[in-house]
Structure 1
Amino acid sequence: MISENFSKNICEKNLITQKRVVSPDFIDCNQHVSESSYYKIAIDVLQDLHRELGLNDCFSAEQTAPIVFSSNIEFFREVFVDEEITISVVLLPESINFRKWRRIFEIYNQAGELSAKIISQGAFFDLQTRKVKAPSLKLYEAFRSHNLLAMADIDK
């Protein structure tokens, strides 16, 4: 497994970041970003990155795509309507062959303080056999070349 310190240090480097302005749609009765909205914001950023970087085409051509098994959100600071937030995302291999991975989103408020961290465990999924599999070298290189992949010492 990859150490938490490694994960923390990688995310502080903000390998991939995007900025968004929080709309009223994301605000709950406490007048801050709702629990489900943090996840929606993060996944919207991820889907936009996949489109912009051509990864959706790669998933289609390789008939392999990421699948999530579990996600956990930790909350640290509030975020309010009209704040400009920064979202970072990185994928950490959890196995030598990159079959399994951990994805980390960090969401920072306008003051640059960590507001939420979303950690998901997942794997690559064969779109035809509907089973988990290791990605092709081409898919691995697509993630690495776009700085979406962080490497560390990995135990099997």
Structure 2
Amino acid sequence: MGLDHKTFTSLQLGPILFREELIYMREVVLNETISVKTTLTQSTPDASRWSFRHELYRSDGVKAAIVNVDGAWLDLTKRKLTTPPKDIVARLLDLPKSEDYKQTDVPGKAQ
């Protein structure tokens, strides 16, 4: 999304994970180059809550693992969940969406 630590620090904003699930499918050997396909699987309209699926592929194209994460944005000053600025909302909602993408109004409850 083109966001780095400097951006997050200036906004006093950071991602926070509630859940992370790793599904191993095939072996990856030491020093093997892998590629990662990331899709948005769920989000609220304001992008305050979100879920991603990361699919990891070996150099021979075989899917080696799937990582599912659920998270939100944390105001680093108030230490409370928050809604990100509009430009970050736009970037997040512009990411590729999974085939099973769901928009939610309430975190964890798909429409």
Relative to the length of structure 1, the TM-score reads: 0.56
| 8 Å Cα contact 2:56/2:65 also seen in 1 | yes
Indicate the residue corresponding to 1:106 in structure 2: 55
| 8 Å Cα contact 1:77/1:116 also seen in 2 | yes
Structure 1 stretches of 4+ moved >3 Å: 90-93, 141-144, 150-153
- The size of the alignment, in residue pairs, is 102
Is 1:55 aligned with 2:1?
no
Is 1:83 aligned with 2:32?
yes
The one-letter amino acid paired with 2:45 is: I
CA distance in 2, matches of 1:72, 1:153: 18
Q: Deviations over 1:81-121 (max 9, x none)?
A: 23221122334452111110012211111210110001011
Indicate the residue corresponding to 1:124 in structure 2: 73
The one-letter amino acid paired with 1:73 is: L
Q: Deviations over 1:36-87 (max 9, x none)?
A: xxxxxxxxxxxxxx7xx34323212221111101100111111112322112
Classify 1:153/1:74 alpha carbon distance in 2 versus 1 (closer, same or farther; 3 Å).
Answer: closer
Percent identity of paired positions between Structure 1 and Structure 2? 24
Q: Tell me, which stretches of 5 or more residues in structure 2 are unaligned?
A: 106-111
More helix by share: 1
* Distance apart, 1:122 and its partner CA: 0.4
Moved more, 132-141 or 117-126: 132-141
| 8 Å Cα contact 1:58/1:139 also seen in 2 | no
Indicate the residue corresponding to 2:23 in structure 1: 74
Q: Tell me, which stretches of 5 or more residues in structure 1 are unaligned?
A: 1-49
Classify 1:82/1:64 alpha carbon distance in 2 versus 1 (closer, same or farther; 3 Å).
Answer: closer
* Distance apart, 1:130 and its partner CA: 0.5
